[in-house]
Amino acid sequence: MQVRRVPPFATVPFGILMIMVAMWMLSGSTSESGADDMMAAILLRGLGLGFLFLSITLIAFGNLNNRNLASGIGLFNTGRQLGGLIGVAALQTLIDHNVVANVAVLGANVTAGGPAVIERLATTTAMLTAKGMDAAAAGRAATSLLGRVVTGQSTVIAFDTAFNAVALLFVIAAPILVAIKIGLAKVRAARLLKTKESRENYAAFLENVRQELLWTAVRTGKYGERAKERSINPCLLLLIFALLMPCQPALAQTDRNPVGQPTSVAALPPEDLRQLLDLLQRPDIQTWLQSQTGNRPVEEQSSAEAANAREIIVGRLNAVRSFVHDMATAIPTLPAELHRARVALMTEMRGQGSFAAILPLVFFATLGFGLEWLYWHATSGFRDRMIVTHLDTVDDRLRAAGLRILYGLGVLLAFAVGSVGAFLLFDWPPLLQHSVLAYLLVFLAVRLTLVVGRIVLAPGAERFRLMPVATVTARFWFFWSAVLVGLFAFGHFTYQLLPMLGVGHEATYIVALASGLILFGLALVALWRCPTFDGVDMVSRRHRVSTVLGTLYIIANWLVALSGVAATFYIGVVLLVLPIAISCVRLSIDHIMRPPGTIAANEGVPSLAGAALERGLRSLLLIGGAYLIASLLGLDFGTLAARDTMATHLIRGLLNAFVVILLADFTWRMTSTWIDRKLMQTAVGDAVDPDELRRSARLRTLLPVLRNVLFVVLLAMAILMALSSLGVEIGPLIAGAGVVGLAVGFGAQTLVKDIISGMFFLLDDAFRVGEYIESGSIKGTVESFSLRSIKIRHHRGALHTIPFGSLDKITNYSRDWAIDKIMVSVTYNTDLDVVKNTVKQVGKQLLTDEEIAPSIMETLKMQGVEQFGDFAIQIRMKIMTKPGEQAVIRRRAYALIKKAFDAKGIKFAVPTVSVAGGGDASSAVAQKGLDLIKPPPQTEQAALDA
């Protein structure tokens, strides 16, 4: 098998690009940079050097014969060593010169009497003195340390300059190498054209290229022949398959040829192939072909489907191999293709005249940037007011965010209006117009990303930052988001522009592949170098696990996209970015809606406006993500609305169900937030107003039940509406549910009775949680209740669970107030006025007791004589207290009454027996009493003992 290798000069640009990126990454090094910060750049530089020098070596020896090979190797090694020595010496000289210059510049700013220098020396001296060094030595050591810091910073700056110089050198060398290659190709072509045989070979070569391009077009349109067997290096196949840009169109699939047809496209004339392609593009021909395919016999269709199922894997692998081979074959033609595009553009500009072609460009840039400059100066007062505005309250932060969004869009709109005005004023050449428009869109995409970054991340103004991230994180993602978006837009619009400039299909693929590889590499660099944050303004160490998982996801998504569906890559990106964007929106809203005077977001229930804003933005992101996925899958909403097939009906149903779920989620979020905030307001605070306390208790009782009912209703409505959108007839479902509900209702009458009774008990506000009630023989404190039953805790600890339907009349002892009646019996010889004054004094003493006085609404007072008894006068007293406190106050009142009555000589009446008669009678009674307490005789006592 013949092995076809990648030309060495094709890998030179990749090596140069890798070294440029590595030098640029190293240019951001500081004196605090460590191995983790520089390892990726060093590895990338080593890989780039391998690509570059190995390819240069192969190119240098590729055209040498065996006789000159030894001399060429010696000359090459001598030149490489000499060039390396010169380059190292030049870089070392540049670094030393910059170190001296930077030390002079930094030393000029570090003055001996400067406040910063004095403070730095004082701090260092104090630190050294605390470690045991004497003051004089500590001062000298502090000065020496400061000198080392200046020298170290100067060295770092010098190395940054050297890295930038090397990167600039490669930027300059890249087009020079391309130009040299183009020049050598032209010289070689001129030599080939000197003889007739060379001219014939050249014509044959052009014809072969033309035939291959036509073959590629036919194969891509799915009307070509089976791909020819081609040999290719397996290592090259694996490398390109692993790194292939998934944004390219789907790999073409090869169809089977009918028996008897030519097996080589080259056997057909080019004009016939062009006519065939034109015919196949006609709608009526496509309709006829589809009808002919659909009218084939069932047996033929079944056999064709079986054969297709057997060969699908082989066909896909052949398509991948053919595509990779085409890419490897087209790499040598890339410089010529780009040169052709440049020639086409320059030819058009020369046809219009240099001045006529340059004038629109100058006016385009002047008008766009001029309007932006006017807008900038016209809004200077607005910017000054924005800088000094207060951001203490939520309203201030929302207003500031809205004004900054309008201002950023105004800057972008000013430049866009000026640029569009330039397009309207001039008659642009077609190619120049397409080129300028493409890269204008790239510039607008980058500017829009920067505007969004300044609003959300605000890297230079922490007080205006919407995301609760540290400044380091904000600056990092502000830069990298613009870089990634700009590179993506550049590759995308360049891919669309190159065919207009006459660049071939496969050469355009190669350009898109290169831009995709660069974008993929920079995305991984950003992922591995990004700082993370813990809370506000706190930078933590990188989360290695999440970074590795993100890298694996990106690589897996890349490989899945290479399976043949290019949209898979973008769908994976949307599915990755969408949760991150939703999380960022939630964090931003929480940060904006934080309570005044706080730094961190409120961890409790969000405000109603914050919940509405967060759910609204989340719904917009979800709708936008769904629209992007639908667009990537090739779904046309106009076609979906016009056609009425099973697939379009199902897709419309899914979209409607998606909208219904979003609306239900938004409604549930708003209602649950409102209920939670009401519950939080009733749970916190020390309200002393009895009406407010009763209202809060009732809300705490009813709102949880209302939230559960609303959740069930919303869930049922969302499910029914979603099923209806999908085409499911919900009428029979509702009827069936009604029948089932009727059967359940008859079988569970008691349960229904309990639930309905409980709802009416709650609506009547018959009891609340924490109240002491009595129903029949059950009494106690209400602990909780559900839709069916209530739980009552007896004051002795027993817990009663009673269905609502079993509750009879309810006596509530915890509402408003409680009156306690006290009855006291005194003797008939008691002075009632003294008793009344004494009770009044007891009432005053109760009010002076700090423990029970807050619970007394009306103090103890005497109501009068209740009745005359057989042996006492019954006096009635009353006291009004708060519900549940009467027992404690009654016990305290009894104690004070006893003590006061004893002090006043008031006697409590007790039952007595009065006996009337003479002295004999009294003696008889006394004798009878003695007989009763006299012990029994001895015999009887012995009997009892026995």
- pLDDT, average across residues 540-550: 65
Q: Which of 390-394, 460-464, 600-604, 764-768 has the lowest mean pLDDT?
A: 600-604
Pair of tokens at residue 170: 């490669």
pLDDT at 275 (0 to 100) = 59
- Which of 168, 192, 216 terminates a domain? The answer is 192
Q: Is 783 part of a structural domain of the chain?
A: no
The lowest-confidence range among 48-52, 261-265, 507-511, 734-738 is 261-265
Question: Mean of the pLDDT values across residues 717-738?
Answer: 78
Q: Does residue 928 sit within a domain? A: yes
Q: Nearest 10 degrees: CA dihedral of 197, 200, 205, 207?
A: -170
pLDDT of residue 379: 86
Contact by Cβ (8 Å): 843, 897: no
pLDDT band at 718 (very low <50, low <70, confident <90, very high): confident
Strands of the sheet with 789-793, listed across from one edge: 799-803, 789-793, 778-785, 772-775, 811-812
Is 792:778 a contact under the CB 8 Å cutoff?
A: yes
> What CA–CA distance (Å, rounded) separates 407 from 389?
15
81-90, 324-333, 429-438, 741-750 — which one is most confidently predicted on average? 429-438
Instruction: Name the pLDDT band for 266 (thresholds 50, 70, 90).
Output: very low
Query: What CATH number should be reported for the domain holding residue 854?
Result: 3.30.70.100
**Which of residues 124, 159, 192 is at a domain's end?**
192
865 strand-pairing partners: 875
Please give the Cα distance from 50 to 58 (Å, whole number). Answer: 12
Q: Note whether residue 384 is domain-resident.
A: no
Residue 855, CA atoms < 13 Å, CB-side half-sphere: 20
Judge whether 790 and 802 are in contact, CB under 8 Å. yes
Query: What local confidence, expressed as pLDDT, does residue 261 receive?
Result: 38
Q: What mean pLDDT, rounded, does the chain reach?
A: 72
**Reduced to 3 states, what is the DSSP secondary structure of residue 293?**
helix
Domain boundary among the residues 133, 162, 192 is at 192
CA distances from 273 to 280, 513, 545, 644, 850 (A): 11, 29, 55, 37, 108
Q: What is the pLDDT of residues 866-912, one digit of tens each?
A: 888 878 888 899 888 888 788 888 888 889 888 888 888 888 888 77
Q: What is the per-residue pLDDT for 228?
A: 33
Q: Which of 178-192, 438-452, 869-883 comes out lowest in average pLDDT?
A: 178-192
pLDDT surpasses 60 at 24: yes
Q: Tell me, what's the pLDDT at 234?
A: 32
Residue 538 predicted with pLDDT over 80:
no
Q: Is the CB of residue 880 less than 8 Å from the CB of residue 816? A: no
Residues spanned by the domain of 916: 816-946
Q: What is the pLDDT of residue 711?
A: 86
Residue 429: both structure tokens together: 């050449």
Q: How many angstroms separate the CA atoms of 64 and 58, rounded?
A: 10
Q: What whole-number distance in Å separates Cα of residue 70 and Cα of residue 82?
A: 18
| Residue 182, pLDDT above cutoff 70 | no
- Range picked from 246-250, 668-672, 762-766, 927-931 for highest mean pLDDT: 668-672
Residue 659 has pLDDT above 70, yes or no: yes
Residue 511 within any structural domain of the chain: no
Distance between CA atoms of residues 495 and 501, nearest Å: 11
Asked whether 877 and 809 are in contact (CB, 8 A), the reply is: no
User: What is the reported pLDDT for 685?
Assistant: 52
Min mean pLDDT across 844-848, 851-855, 907-911, 919-923 is at 919-923
User: Quick one: pLDDT at residue 252?
Assistant: 32
Q: Is residue 916 part of a domain?
A: yes
Which comes out higher in pLDDT, residue 658 or 545? Answer: 658
The CA–CA distances, whole Å, from 883 to 273, 813, 878, 892 equal: 100, 6, 15, 16
Which of 784, 783, 790 has its CA nearest to residue 758? 790
226 part of a folded domain: no
**Count of Cβ atoms closer than 10 Å to residue 775 Cβ:** 20
Q: Is 914 a member of any domain?
A: yes
What average pLDDT does range 555-577 have in this prediction?
71
Angle, vertex CA 448, rays to CA 442 and CA 450, nearest 5: 105
Is 822 among the domain residues?
Answer: yes
Query: Which pLDDT band holds residue 225 (cuts at 50, 70, 90)?
Result: very low
Q: Evaluate if residue 805 carries a pLDDT over 80.
A: yes
Across 815-828, b (16+ Cβ under 10 Å) vs e yields: beebebebebbbee
Per-residue pLDDT reduced to its tens digit, 573-618: 788 888 888 888 888 888 787 776 666 555 666 677 778 888 888 8
The pLDDT value recorded for residue 715 is: 87
State the pLDDT confidence band at 639, using cuts at 50, 70 and 90.
Answer: low
- Which has the higher per-residue pLDDT, 144 or 175? 144
Identify the pLDDT of residue 650.
76
End-to-end CA distance of the chain: 131
C-beta separation of 364 from 417 below 8 A: no
What predicted TM-score, i.e. pTM, was given to this entire model? 0.49
| Domain total in the chain | 2
Residue 223: per-residue pLDDT: 33
Q: Mean pLDDT over residues 563-568, rounded?
A: 61
| pLDDT(442) > 60 | yes
Whether pLDDT at 257 is above 50? no
